[in-house]
Amino acid sequence: MTIKVGDRLPEAKFRVMTGEGPQVKTTDEIFKGKKVALFAVPGAYTNTCHKMHMPGVFQNAAAMKAKGVDTIAVVSVNDIFVMKAWQRDTDMNNEGLYLADGNAEFTKAVGLEFDGSANGLGIRSKRYSMLVEDGVVKKLNVEDVPSKVEVSGGDTLLGQL
């Protein structure tokens, strides 16, 4: 079942890279008591994700934070090492929290996965943006086509704040 506005995020664990190395963070640790702008992408370094989606997120980061967003999070079905390298290459001001969902556990739990096996990608996340307040989905913008950024970009979510 796909998550919808008004639903509470399911319990899940992500991997994040810290100065001490990879660490596990739960949905509670990331979302409880916070306003989080969550951006999901099918894959780090893929053309649309790297060249179209992330630039728009971080061009709007300061404005989102000025409107009360505590955390800008990026989730993908990639491992923590890829996510850390991608953060280095896309988030020049270190404004985002990059969440590795390597086994697609969170992605499947929210019902926003798709099968990219025909293109050699395996199970991936749909492209979306989500505003989450204290663990509850307030806005959800899911792309119909993974190769487009029409409703899931930073500018769209900023306009919804």
Write out the catalytic residue numbers. Answer: 49
Residue 103: closest CA among 15, 30, 2, 33: 15
Nearest to residue 36, comparing CAs of 57, 59, 53, 13? 57
Cα–Cα distances (Å) from 104 to 33, 118, 128, in that order, read 24, 17, 15
Q: How far apart are CA 96 and CA 143, in angstroms?
A: 21
What separation, in Å, do the N-terminal and C-terminal C-alpha atoms of the chain show?
Answer: 26
Distance between alpha carbon 51 and the CA centroid of its chain, in Å?
A: 16
